[in-house]
Structure 1
Amino acid sequence: MSTYNPVIFKMELQGIDYSNLSLFGPDARVAPRLMGWNVPVEELIHIPSHWLSFPEVDPMMHYSLGLLYCFFCVAALVGNGLVIWIFSTTIARPFHGRVTRGRAVVMLVFVWAYTLPWAVMPALEIWGRFVPEGYLTSCSFDYLTKTPENQFFVVTIFIFSYILPMSLIIYFYSQIVSHVVNHEKALREQAKKMNVESLRSNQQQNQVSAEIRIAKAAISICFLFVASWTPYAVMALIGAFGNQALLTPGASMIPALTCKFVACLDPYVYAISHPRYRVELQKRLPWLNIDETQPQSETTSAITTNVSTDSTGTPD
């Protein structure tokens, strides 16, 4: 009479053939060593069996990834810290007159309500689960277990975390670009009829140039989102529905690293392209040698404010 083993039972539920469990023990996985050879048998259920069939990775790869993760962490902390510092102390209330406090709160609640389930449900194994991937040095949602429930989870997160954001990005930015192009075309035609070079003054030209740079920064960040998450989305679909033999540990680590890299690159793209941010950064950290001219509209506003203050001052 066979005894009940909860580890084997859970492996069978996941469709993993561990009939000869001794093959996955540390002693049997020494020559040549396979990935996960030193993982206790009772913990193997947390690793997709796909990765356990590959040879052990050179330890130098783990050390290199560790250094790379440290670099990503420092770069993200510095970049995002500078953005938070500049905007929280200088560029306050950027949506004043456009977004009310109540609407801003509703937007924040919606964003958190939209994103939290995709982190909480796998963490608690309510739907899906988090497992090691690639070199077993990082975790992601399980896209390798080919059960109907898990495949449905992969499809759902693909739609809500990739297709919908991508569709919204394409729609709204195509509307912005279309509006700008049509507006510029109308101005050129009107200037041609009036036999003048341009209908804008120098101040308006500077303002439009700044707006274009800000739009380019936003579009660049959106492009980085597409470029970084598309390979990962394709990899997840291959793992859930395609030929898993295409997913080697090394190949799977490339999309994972690009996603982490973009997360720390976004604030630097913003710093390069946003004129007002660059002006404030130049004031705070002059040793960075940022050559950015303050927008004329802000300079004129500051001069007007100073003149008004002086004219209303009381004589000595």
Structure 2
Amino acid sequence: MSNISDSITPSGYIMGTGVLQAQINNPNDYLGSKINEDYMDYVHPHWRQYQAPEAYQHFLLGLVYAVILVVGMLGNLLVIITFFTSKGLQTPSNAFVANLAVFDALMMSKLPVFVMNSVVEGQLFGKIGCDIYGLIGSYSGMGAAITNAAIAFDRYRTIAFPLDGRLRMKAAIGIIIFTWIWATPFSILPFFEIWSRYTPEGYLTTCSFDYMTEGKSTQLFTMTIFSWAYVVPLLMITLFYTKILSHVRDHEKMLKEQAKRMNVKSLSQGDDKSAEIRIAKVAISIVFLYICGWTPYAMVALIGCFGERSLMTPTFSMFPAIACKTVACIDPWIYAINHPRFRAEIQKKVPWLCIFGQESKSSDNKSTVSDVTDVKSETA
């Protein structure tokens, strides 16, 4: 602990580079001037070479996060409540979606702390606040990543093996427990400073694992968590959706050949198959958002650890944080709007939420038939 602190003390950094020398006479102008002195060892000197952001910049970021909080929490809570209060929706496939909504809601839950940090232009709750903020972000980010992989796996089994490939609820619950176990090691280790730690970044109003401190330990941790939280889930997601697309392509080819032999124009693949493919498309959209949301953050961590740090201004480093939180905000709305059964149930529960529109009678009938089919398949 002392070695880490000594390596990032302001004096050593200033005397070594002279970057901050011009700011010594006016300390209120530099970033971190409103951080408690006993916590300054956790603020990497890279951030403290920059001028403090203007008050309006903190205000705008706080306002953006407040909007994301309201919209995201509402959407995720609607998905969670709808799943647990609607028996027709309590299938293994939807359990994964509900689990993703839980992780996304967890991401939303830390945003009030950011808004308060923006008001005081620093860490309102000091070290413990930063540690809890980082812990929640780590759990929600890694949990959402591996849950997206679980959704891809479930979609693959359901579409490729519709008769005997559907997961049972017990298996789905086991996988959901696994997603929480998956997110635990590299969330807990920095929290207790066993390996790495949580530190302020950007405007020093957010916290993440330490990817700035020089040394092989930081580099090893950054590469490990990059692989664990980003590369492995992404490879799993790519594998399963590639298999889905290959299966659908082969299935369509088989239908065309069979139709040609039967001398008919086409063979319908049925409402159930179409519905499963439509749901897979929604899942792919969520995964695409996940990639857009977390790739910038992964790149920032790699640049901070291995790259050209001059690119990492405080303002630049705040945008990836906004991106990943925006994705957690948008996920439930995309799923709820594109999934006819979720949309119908949410419309019943909150009819004033007119963005969903009115379901047509035929859509309702299809939704009911699909509900009955899914319930039968789960209880068989």
Q: Same fold (TM over 0.5)?
A: yes
Q: CA–CA distance in 2 between the matches of 1:15 and 1:184?
A: 63
Q: 2:292 matched to 1:227?
A: yes
The C-alpha deviation readout for 1:153-207, integer Å capped at 9, x for no partner, is: 0000000000000000000010011101110111012112212122228xx2x43
SS at match of 1:294: helix
Number of equivalences:
291
The C-alpha deviation readout for 1:94-114, integer Å capped at 9, x for no partner, is: 139944454344323322221
Q: Which runs of 5+ in 1 are unaligned?
A: 1-5, 303-316
Q: Decide which structure has greater helix share.
A: 2
Q: Which runs of 5+ in 2 are unaligned?
A: 94-163, 373-380
10-19 vs 117-126, which moves further: 10-19
Aligned to 1:277: 342
Higher Cα Rg: structure 1 or 2? 1
Aligned to 2:280: 215
> What amino acid does structure 2 have at the position aligned with 1:50?
H
Q: Which among 12, 30, 40 is matched to residue 6 of structure 2?
A: 12
Check whether the contact 1:239–1:247 (CA below 8 A) recurs between aligned residues: yes
Q: CA–CA distance in 2 between the matches of 1:166 and 1:241?
A: 22
Check whether the contact 2:272–2:370 (CA below 8 A) recurs between aligned residues: no
SS at match of 1:132: strand
Q: 2:70 matched to 1:58?
A: no
Q: Which among 164, 177, 185 is matched to residue 109 of structure 1?
A: 177
Check whether the contact 1:15–1:147 (CA below 8 A) recurs between aligned residues: no
Change in CA separation of 1:157 and 1:183 when aligned onto 2, cut-off 3 Å: same
Q: CA–CA distance in 2 between the matches of 1:37 and 1:300?
A: 59
Q: CA deviation at 1:230?
A: 0.9
Aligned to 1:294: 364
Identity of aligned residues (%): 41
Q: CA–CA distance in 1 between the matches of 2:5 and 2:174?
A: 43
Check whether the contact 1:158–1:233 (CA below 8 A) recurs between aligned residues: yes
SS at match of 2:29: coil
Check whether the contact 1:129–1:142 (CA below 8 A) recurs between aligned residues: yes
Q: Which among 41, 48, 51 is matched to residue 45 of structure 1?
A: 41
What do you get for the CA RMSD once the two structures are aligned?
A: 2.9
Q: 2:246 matched to 1:249?
A: no
Change in CA separation of 1:243 and 1:192 when aligned onto 2, cut-off 3 Å: same
Q: 2:191 matched to 1:194?
A: no
Q: CA–CA distance in 2 between the matches of 1:52 and 1:235?
A: 18
Q: CA deviation at 1:279?
A: 2.1
Check whether the contact 2:196–2:221 (CA below 8 A) recurs between aligned residues: yes
Change in CA separation of 1:190 and 1:105 when aligned onto 2, cut-off 3 Å: closer
Q: 2:90 matched to 1:93?
A: yes
Change in CA separation of 1:13 and 1:28 when aligned onto 2, cut-off 3 Å: closer
